[in-house]
Amino acid sequence: VMEINPNDTVLTLTSGGCNALNLLVNGAGHVVSVDCNPAQSALLELKKVAIQNLEFEDVWQLFGEGVHPRIEEIYEKKLAPFLSQTSHTFWSKRLWYFKHGLYYQGGMGKLCWVLQCLAVLLGLGKTVKRIANAPTLEEQRKVWDSNVLIHFVKNGPKLLVWCFVKFVSLVLFNKAVLWFGGGVPGKQYALIKADGIPIERYIARTMDGVAENSHVRKQNYFYYNCLTGKFLRDNCPTYLRESSFSQLKAGMVDRLTVSTNFFMEELNARTYTK
């Protein structure tokens, strides 16, 4: 849609860094990735340095599986010497992330972990696994629609459903949890409420839409990661595909600048084409 080309200097929000790396693979001449959260900058800088200095299998273990058995060794020898002091300070205290699962750390990761635990407590543990591994969208829909709790929420007595959904919403989908765990800023939360849609209905509609219309196992690496804490080789961000990794390592990733700053300040700092 953006028709990226080698003459483009692109400004993007960092978040997890996937979009910035994908823009490079798509041909951007220079990508500036900005975020006011230093943890996001540290993550993207680690990805950049890993691509520059590691082989594909090590990068896959770090960011595909989210776990690496030799993290201390490769960090000290091949990653730490090339990180900024800020990022080195951040990661030197958090290498254990790659022992227990990178994608269960931070606010979003902990929220996913809590939701998985809740799913088990509510008898949805097997359903979650079956959805994540459903071979087809049709099979995924069957698993989702046949679950007792999902059937109750969709078809149960309205008062009981309302009480149950309200309770879950107050505990898990309040403003504080959505900000610290889901990265939903207060203004976005206010916009959702301004539409006249209760936040619990908005989330339920989103989840139902994914389960009914997006094949998680093959086509939706974001939700697969949320459900399992890892990616699959055929269902992952572009930068984790071996062919894209080779392009990035060959020099593309050198055209990435990582900035910890506010978006408007970075926007005014230089000229961008997109």
Predicted TM-score of the model (pTM): 0.85
Answer yes or no: are the C-beta atoms of 273 and 9 closer than 8 Å: yes
List residues bridging with 259 in a β-sheet: 34
The H or E element that residue 258 is part of is: strand 256-260
The whole-number mean pLDDT for each consecutive block of 10 residues of the chain, a chain of 274 residues, reads 88 93 95 94 98 98 98 98 97 96 89 83 86 96 88 83 76 66 64 71 84 95 94 96 97 96 91 92
Per-residue pLDDT, 179: 65
Residue with tokens 């409420």: 193
Per-residue pLDDT, 1: 64
Alpha helices in 75-215 (DSSP H): 85-92, 97-100, 106-121, 125-132, 137-146, 148-155, 158-172, 175-180, 186-194, 199-213
What's the one-letter identity of residue 136?
A: T
Per-residue pLDDT, 155: 80
Per-residue pLDDT, 151: 80
CA neighbor of 255 nearest in space, from 3, 1, 7? 7
Would you put residue 183 in left (φ > 0), alpha (ψ -120 to 50) or beta?
A: left
